[in-house]
Amino acid sequence: MTVLRVRGLTKYFPVPRSRGGGRVHALDGVDLTINEGEVVGLVGESGSGKSTLGKCVVRLLEPTGGTIELNGRDISHLSQRRIRPVRRQVHMVFQDPYSSLDPRMSIGDIVAEPLRRHRVARSRELDAKVSSLLDKVGLAAAMRYRYPHELSGGQRQRVGLARSLSLDPSLLIADEPVSALDVSVQASVLNLFMDLQADLGFSCLFISHDLATVELLCDRVAVLYLGRVVEEGSREEIFSAPRHPYTRSLLSAITVPDPPRQRRRERIILSGDVPSPIDPPPGCAFHTRCPVAELPRCAGESPVLEPVGGTGHRVSCHLVSTLSA
Amino acid sequence: MTPRLQVDELSVEFDTDEGPVLAVDRMSFTVGPREVVALVGESGCGKSVTSMAILRLLPRRASVTGSISLDGRELTSLSETAIREVRGRDVSMIFQEPMTSLNPSFTIGFQIGEVLRRHEGMSRKQANERAVELLDLVRMPAARTRLREYPHQLSGGMRQRVMIAMAVACSPQVLIADEPTTALDVTIQAQILDILRDLRADVGTSILLITHDLGVVADIADRVEIMYAGHQIESGPVDDLFSRPQHPYTVGLLGAVPRPDLLAEGGSRRLREIPGLVPVLRGLPESCVFAPRCTRATAVCGESMPPLARTGPEQYAACHHAGEDSPVRKGIQA
């Protein structure tokens, strides 16, 4: 069953006239589906639109165009009032465990808030639920009386996970959930995430710039560049047989903590920076940095996301047939 | 090989409202010509404090003891005027935050030129010409027109390139790079690492790299110093240390990084966790600083902090039970 279906999603932000006017093309026609129990990785560099996509799906932002269907229901333009019940089905885990917890609420209240809001449980039943949630994320029951400032970064991120799972959502949006944490703490939060996902079976959109983590966790991966999906496929397709030149350079930029292996890795070093999403390059947005771009075609025509092979592997590149598989 | 930079028994203690905090305890290491040495550890391990101590950039409430010498010249006893001559000319530094380490109210050209006018006595015109060369060296597109631009007009990657251009303006013997790629995207990180690699090869700069990213270390470092709670707990050539880590903390760190490349070879999807938290040291430790989180800890670990001891031809570890993880031990965690 399809949990999330995003079609032709666009999101533009106006730029004030005092700063030159125009609009930021944060998302430019994104298609994405997530099936039941599936973990889909969304990767891309800063400014690629990956966080904007996450925020549109939980409707913290209203899309400019396109549709978002959650469990078969179009939520792209629901009013604030009508979106409220939908929020039981989709929850978000934020990147920064310091600013995403209210410093004046106890841990117990933070975890209980969604349950109270949606009138799922009260009094003794609520207490029991909070204890079991804290237990699930590996926190002692006595933690409920503590406040965020008393907790370490890893513990806070566990609280964030407990809160987002409290209503048993069918979809979790995890926006860089471990990138603010130290390596050893990251490991324990990622292990916990894998256990919970296997246990509870929720679907997840996992937004990250860390490709190693994405390869470890995700069933399918979509690669964003300047608001467009340039390649999409299963974990194996993306990591073992990437077709888009951008995906290839992104993968070649991963460093592995194994010196001889790292020295042997093929390096594709891109020149220049990601262009501004206010004025994205015409044609294929990647052509300005692409090592194999063929002018004038790549600068003139926008490529579309097309299937390569029989499976769900899709690539948006004019030259895909000429690149070795 | 005589080292360029030699740090001997460096300790840094901060006087805080809650009493003294020992940030670095008796660090010793060397950086040779054209060598890249990485100081590795998690937040609060003392790696940045160590690098700041070298350039004497720590506040007054820090008491620094030990010796730091550059080509045989002691830096700790230099006068304020003399150390200012060293900074930026003999030893220079690039920081993690390219956003906050450039002055927003001066042009790029002025800021790079400042170093050259100050240390090399160049005229404004000479400094401008050299600044263009430097920006070319760090592969800045359209170098000449950039001179008149301000930091806010540049992207993060370009600002970091300006920082590197400033840092290498006087061809320093040692470049200290404090998390130079942490705030950058992966494709930009690859560019910056490539520039650092070239600097070492072409200009012969020695680099002291401060980082928590073991992938970056594997990419560029020759030798590694692993730090934990202000202590040097393992030290050695990069290949030896990564293939045969001896200290349980190093073993833990290497196991905590996702290694999807090993899945095909039968590696586990589960990551190794290091339970517990990093301690804050109030004074000299009476037991091994890692013992409370260590799977190998025994009674002896509670009695004294072990000193660095040789475990291989050039490898050292500070552990009472140094050694590679036996398969049995690996099984416990996996």
pLDDT digits (tens, 9 = 90+) for B223-240: 999 999 999 999 999 999
Low-confidence ranges of chain A (pLDDT < 70): 325
Give pLDDT, residue B281: 78
Which residues touch B121 (CB under 8 Å, ≥6 apart)?
none
Give pLDDT, residue B1: 63
Residue A190, chain B, CB below 8 Å: the answer is yes
| Cα angle for residues A263, A265, A268 (degrees, 5° grid) | 120
- Measure the CA–CA gap between A89 and B329, rounded to whole angstroms: 42
> Do the Cβ atoms of B256 and A270 come within 8 Å?
no
Å between A320 CA and nearest CA of chain B? 21
B187, B189, B274, B315: which to substitute to probe chain A, counting the most A Cβ within 10 Å?
B187
- Measure the CA–CA gap between B208 and B55, rounded to whole angstroms: 12
Residue B218, chain A, CB below 8 Å: the answer is yes
Closest Cβ–Cβ partner in B156, B187, B238 for A259: B238
Q: Tell me the angle at which helices B108-120 and B124-137 cross, rounded to the nearest 10 degrees.
A: 110
Closest Cβ–Cβ partner in B155, B242, B277 for A257: B242
- Measure the CA–CA gap between A183 and A150, rounded to whole angstroms: 21
- Measure the CA–CA gap between B294 and B301, rounded to whole angstroms: 10
- Measure the CA–CA gap between B177 and B198, rounded to whole angstroms: 15
- On chain B, the residues whose CB falls within 8 A of the CB of A273 are 155, 157-158, 188
Which residues touch A171 (CB under 8 Å, ≥6 apart)?
A3, A4, A34, A57, A70, A89, A90, A91, A202, A203, A204, A205
Residue B269, chain A, CB below 8 Å: the answer is yes
Residue B252, chain A, CB below 8 Å: the answer is yes
CB A218, CB A18: distance < 8 Å: no
What does DSSP say about strands B206-211 and B19-31: parallel, antiparallel, or unpaired?
Answer: unpaired
- Report CA-CA distances (Å) from A208 to A62, A176, A216, B39, B284: 22, 5, 12, 26, 40
The H or E element containing residue A236 is: helix A235-240
- On chain A, the residues whose CB falls within 8 A of the CB of B158 are 273
Residue A211, chain B, CB below 8 Å: the answer is yes
Instruction: Tell me the residue length of chain B.
Output: 334
A178, A194, A256: which to substitute to probe chain B, counting the most B Cβ within 10 Å?
A256
| Interface list for B 273-302 with A (CB within 8 A) | 273-275, 277
Residue B219, chain A, CB below 8 Å: the answer is yes
Give pLDDT, residue B236: 97
- Report CA-CA distances (Å) from B182 to B191, B255, B265, B267: 13, 20, 29, 27
> Do the Cβ atoms of B42 and A272 come within 8 Å?
no
Residue A274, chain B, CB below 8 Å: the answer is yes
Which of A136-145, A302-311, B56-65, B267-276 has the least mean pLDDT? B267-276
- Measure the CA–CA gap between A114 and A116, rounded to whole angstroms: 5
As for the ipTM of the complex, it is: 0.86
CB B107, CB B148: distance < 8 Å: yes
| Cα angle for residues A75, A76, A77 (degrees, 5° grid) | 95
The H or E element containing residue B193 is: helix B186-198
3-state secondary structure of A209: coil
> Do the Cβ atoms of B252 and A184 come within 8 Å?
yes
- Measure the CA–CA gap between A316 and A306, rounded to whole angstroms: 6
Give pLDDT, residue A179: 87
Residue B139, chain A, CB below 8 Å: the answer is yes
- On chain B, the residues whose CB falls within 8 A of the CB of A263 are 219
The H or E element containing residue A261 is: helix A259-264
| CA within 13 Å, CB half, B80 | 2
A151, A158, A181, A182: which to substitute to probe chain B, counting the most B Cβ within 10 Å?
A182
Which of B121-130, B147-156, B203-212 has the least mean pLDDT? B147-156
Sole residue written with tokens 């996902």: A197
- Measure the CA–CA gap between A197 and A135, rounded to whole angstroms: 15
Provide the edge-to-edge strand list for the sheet that holds B5-16.
B19-31, B5-16, B62-70, B73-74
Please name which of A241, A226, A244 lies closest in space to residue A315, comparing C-alpha atoms: A244
Residue A261, chain B, CB below 8 Å: the answer is yes
Q: Is the pLDDT assigned to residue B82 strictly greater than 80?
A: yes
CB A71, CB A3: distance < 8 Å: yes
Which residues touch A32 (CB under 8 Å, ≥6 apart)?
A4, A5, A6, A9, A40, A42, A53, A222, A229, A232
Give pLDDT, residue A47: 84
Please name which of A56, A280, A10, A286 lies closest in space to residue A173, comparing C-alpha atoms: A56
Give pLDDT, residue B49: 94
* Closest residue, chain A, to B153 (C-alpha): A276
- On chain A, the residues whose CB falls within 8 A of the CB of B242 are 257-259
- On chain B, the residues whose CB falls within 8 A of the CB of A239 are 260
Tokens of A262: 């790292």
Q: Is the pLDDT assigned to residue B333 strictly greater than 60?
A: no
- On chain B, the residues whose CB falls within 8 A of the CB of A212 are 257-260
- On chain B, the residues whose CB falls within 8 A of the CB of A269 are 187, 190-191, 194
| Interface list for B 68-87 with A (CB within 8 A) | none
What does DSSP say about strands A171-175 and A90-93: parallel, antiparallel, or unpaired?
Answer: parallel
Sole residue written with tokens 């490539």: B194
Give pLDDT, residue B283: 79
Q: Give percent helix, percent strand, percent coil of chain B, each to the nearest 5.
A: 35, 20, 40
B48, B154, B162, B185: which to substitute to probe chain A, counting the most A Cβ within 10 Å?
B185
- On chain B, the residues whose CB falls within 8 A of the CB of A286 are none
State the sign of the Cα–Cα–Cα–Cα dihedral A152, A155, A157, A163: negative
> Do the Cβ atoms of B269 and A216 come within 8 Å?
yes
What does DSSP say about strands B223-228 and B36-40: parallel, antiparallel, or unpaired?
Answer: parallel
Local confidence band at B69 (pLDDT 50, 70, 90 cut-offs) = very high
Give pLDDT, residue B279: 82
Residue B42, chain A, CB below 8 Å: the answer is yes
Closest Cβ–Cβ partner in A152, A187, A215 for B256: A187
Å between A97 CA and nearest CA of chain B? 16
- Please provide the DSSP assignment of A156-183 as one string: HHHHHHHHHHTT--SEEEEESTTTTS-H
| Domains of chain B, start order | 5-100+169-317 (3.40.50.300)
Give pLDDT, residue A269: 87
State mean pLDDT over B158-170. Answer: 91
- On chain A, the residues whose CB falls within 8 A of the CB of B256 are 183-184, 186-187
- Measure the CA–CA gap between B242 and B222, rounded to whole angstroms: 11
Q: Is the pLDDT assigned to residue B332 strictly greater than 80?
A: no
- On chain A, the residues whose CB falls within 8 A of the CB of B273 are 184, 187-188, 191
Give pLDDT, residue B326: 59
Give pLDDT, residue B99: 75
Local confidence band at B328 (pLDDT 50, 70, 90 cut-offs) = very low
Which residues touch A129 (CB under 8 Å, ≥6 apart)?
A112, A115, A120, A121, A166
- Report CA-CA distances (Å) from A213 to A190, A218, A245, B181, B313: 8, 8, 21, 18, 35
What SS3 string covers A59-116?
CCCCCCEEEEEECCEECCCCCHHHHHHHHHCEEEECCCCCCCCCCCCCHHHHHHHHHH
DSSP B55: T
- Please provide the DSSP assignment of B248-292 as one string: HHHHHHHHHS--GGGGGGT--SSPPP--S-PPPPSSS-SS-TTGG
